[in-house]
Chain A
Amino acid sequence: MIEDLKELWRYRDLVRSLVLRDLAVRYKNSVLGFFWSLANPLVQVATITIVFKYVLNIGIPNYSAYVLCAFLPWMFFQMTLSDAGESVLRHLDLLKKVYFPREALPISVALANLVHLLLALGVFFVYLLVLGVAVEPGWLLLPVALALQLALNLGLAFFVSALSVFYEDIRYLVGVSTNLFFYFCPVIYLSEQILVSEKIPQALRARIWEVYHWNPMATYLEWYRQLLLPRFVGKGIEDVPLAMHHLAIAAAISLVTLVAGYAFFNNRKWLFAERP
């Protein structure tokens, strides 16, 4: 693995160029292109906000800010996995002709989506100014949160990109399961609702709260919210500060996923070009 990393380092310019190409193609070399790519999350968040504010009456001021704050990192997760499914497959012709470290492909996909998230967060800060929501000093820890989520995304991207080469169903499986997984992450709801839900017996709530945080994405989305936004104020629901052991679990799972994913990918990467 050390040798693979050294070789990857020799090809660092390739990773950078692939990221720039991804962004250039996505934004079609135009300023408007960037805003088009933001349109989708913004429309979804607007819809969610309207439903929650006027139909379900959640009663939390500036709810859309809380939704958007989780939705943008969620998009980072989802887009990385769906792009990863194509990252190697799309370049099979190239792989059959040219040598280069194959991991440059999933890595560039993850990094391109990270850059996209950073640009979207820039817009998010402007949005907060418009809403009049104060930005918390916690954003100084944002790079740590981003790095940990990147480790998780990239680790999964290694698995997805390698498996998609040999089993084309994987891409569909990933699409369906991320859609389902969405509801296990606190994007359109607040995780604290578990602690006050009347549908869950009082005795079980703390247990479920713990199990819920075995999902690193749940922890990260909560963390982003607490880093970037003031504590929410709601009727009968309280903002619970992130527990350190939840963060430790999430970080451990992410790093193990990264290392395991890279090893898995490396074991198969020279077979991609031989795909029957």
Chain B
Amino acid sequence: MGLEVAVRLIDVRKRFRLAHHPVNTLKGALAGFLRRRYEDLWALKGITLTVEKGETVALVGRNGSGKSTLLGLLGRVYLPTSGVVEVHGRVAALLELGAGFHPDLTGEQNVLLNGVILGMRERDVRQSLDSIIEFAELERFRDAPLRSYSAGMVMRLGFSVAVHTRPDVLLVDEVLAVGDEAFQQKCLRKIRQFQNEGKTIIFVSHDLESVRSVATRCVWLHEGLVNADGPVEPVLEQYLQAMRA
């Protein structure tokens, strides 16, 4: 059977400008114009990577190695400085759940808003409304303003909306590490369900246990480059060895 490409990156580089003075003011801009005092920070220095449909790829690496930047590029939050980023199918990002929620709106209103922010049509969100709220176990709080929710409840709601957007490619940034035990189990079950449905998952995690239990492939990023790429165990071993050194 021919393999379908879900994600393709060709020599992707990403530069951020690191400023050493406040640039977000006119005064700062003027100072910066007179003497350019910013530093180029290359978060990604030439990544070439192909992910096939149905793979679950774990990105590992130290802080600042470019993992989140890579997810940002795949989620179209950033444009690459050079190179090609191709993503086939509908992308959903489970990055910091609950971004875009408003404390004054009720749970239901927030679900409707968050669903369309994530790119759904409103009637589709309305159709999934009951199951989103049921999955988050928040039926009783449906009409309560979000400010009366606990942090865990907000997280559950955010996760529930994101997984109901019917994505083809799911980007997950450290979400598995938050919430209580029961919630984590629930996340994990949902992720397994996505895997069974043949969806592509790319996730960042510092929790190597979840990498071992979920991923089918592991990519080790180091200072903006791919250091190792392949089956989970050998890559993790190399990674751990380098960390110990």
Contact = CB atoms under 8 A, between A and B. Distances in A.
Nearest to B21: A276
A196 B25 CA distance: 44
B122 A13 contact: yes
Interface stretch (A161-169, A179-187, A246-254): A161-169
Nearest to A89: B24
A96 B105 contact: no
Interface string B106-146: 00010011001111111000000000000000000000000
A29 B19 CA distance: 42
A54 interface: no
B244 interface: no
Interface in A15-30: 16-18, 21, 24-25, 28-29
Contacts of B76: 99
* A97, A167, A169: residue with the most chain B Cβ atoms closer than 10 Å: A97
Contact of B93 (A97, A270, A275, A276): A97
Interface string B66-88: 00000010011111000000000
B104 A25 contact: yes
A11 interface: yes
Nearest to B14: A274
**Does more than half of chain A's interface fall in helix, strand or loop, or is it mixed?**
helix
B204 to A, nearest CB: 13
Contacts of A274: 16-17, 78
B17 A98 contact: no
B26 A276 contact: no
B25 A100 contact: no
Interface residues of B, number: 36
A75 to B, nearest CB: 22
A169 B26 contact: yes
B234 interface: no
A145 interface: no
Contacts of A99: 75-77, 91, 93, 119
Interface stretch (B4-12, B95-103, B183-191, B222-230): B95-103
B18 interface: yes
B29 interface: yes
Given A97-B93, A167-B25, A13 B116 contact: yes
Interface string A111-132: 0000000000000000000000
B116 A273 contact: no
Nearest to A10: B119
Given A24-B109, A99-B93, 14 more contacts: A11-B119, A13-B122, A17-B122, A25-B105, A93-B96, A95-B77, A97-B75, A98-B75, A99-B119, A165-B24, A166-B23, A169-B26, A273-B78, A275-B24
- Across the A-B interface, the 9 shortest Cβ-Cβ residue pairs: A99-B76, A13-B122, A276-B19, A14-B116, A97-B99, A97-B95, A94-B100, A169-B26, A13-B116
Interface of A: 11, 13-14, 16-18, 21, 24-25, 28-29, 91, 93-100, 165-170, 270, 273-276
